[in-house]
Structure 1
């Protein structure tokens, strides 16, 4: 006999789920918080569930066939690359995310990484700690208002990043696979490039703000890094899988890139033996761009609210697939 509630947090590594619990209790819904690490653990422990709140566990036909009661997956975050959307649609499972909870934070992180690598504050801060006191070690540093910044992906986060760039006087150009129909979120009067290579060849700074899918896996590779300006800068706050890390390493080695700032890597955490750690002009942060106290609470609340809406027969606010 199944004793599971309709809502199961099947895997979540947060310290607590107090926000979710409060939302579910107010709605009269029971829930269970689990820490499933494999698909088999999900199958064994989550029978009878209707709604999953999901963080890492792979969701595909294996799960959908084994748990036929499942009708909703709410993903903790923006990306849904651990969910096979075609399988979900085939089995009538609605997939939702929370695309707007941390968009300001991620845009802020991209701005912080850009300023750190272009102004070389990270590099020289470390040198001062080591006992050096010589601004000349930063040479050359470019005036921000002379730079062209290329934004790849013009959704919510790319748009917020563009807004932050404007006061610095940078020229802003953009590429999006939706071109020539600009995103409704993107600020007006930004020059769109028809092709990615056009953006890469014109930009002093390239910043990625796009989701990961089968079409753009390793979109930044040996060929595309070669299309960038000599001595340019690279920022990635999106997904590690967008970047061929061997090609990034080579671009830093050759001087094609003067520096880079990344918040994501293909396999997290980054292995300590990775050659990327050799580069003092590479700033790596631990996939924390999404985080602020406010964003963390907003994410938890919106995930729980989506499940409640679904069980109440209401339309989801953030659907990813179409049933």
Structure 2
């Protein structure tokens, strides 16, 4: 877990904020629940963050290799994660823990390198999730920079072009499932190729395509932004792609707020992130953009309340309808969440 920023509750507690526009409905389009490598972020932990004052109506759980089965056929072990997320969703649906429909959408994991055999496994996930299984994330972020990608076990380069991967990817559309794409800004052109090849498959770009800010990219922010910007404009040509706005509190983005004595305020975060988020919103339009917490990963850089306040500051000049789309509507439509608000 060395690629993540350590969550320090005592550090986060040094700065607190009341929720801005607390009545605005939110769908948290991307979060995790896990107990891995000594780092626990389970339902009670997420519930504690939800009590920060923002009006989170529902959330989307995204795969993180959590609670895989410890035995059985290897290709079916990820069913444990879907079952786990669905269990959390069932607990939340009881109403005993508040009104938020936690894990109302589940983005799981299926190994697309099974090729056409991935279809049968996807059907098992659908059956296990009681209508909540919406798609998969298959992480394809790849870099030869050892600071960006410290593990040699990471995805190989150009996986989005691999014929076997493409055979597996072809199984998604017939089942009505989406694909969450976790890539770096250096791979945006490859995602454009994938969207062109599969125009009927919904693709959700995670973390605005992750413009890198560490390793060889640590002193190249303007060059990276220019390359990222070209890729974002190219992706916007494909109507089957939408974008998650978030992830910039991660170490890999290189903003380094976590190195300060005080945690950042929402004003500071908004100032740093606004150029990126505004460009994506202006390029794709609010109907194809959705905000995400990426918790607990982004919790290493800021608290839940401050994060959503920063997002609200970034879009404070937008219309009521655009705010509604960015904070909730786009996520609800993309993941087919049946919400009443």
Give the TM-score normalised by structure 1.
Answer: 0.31
Rg larger in structure: 1
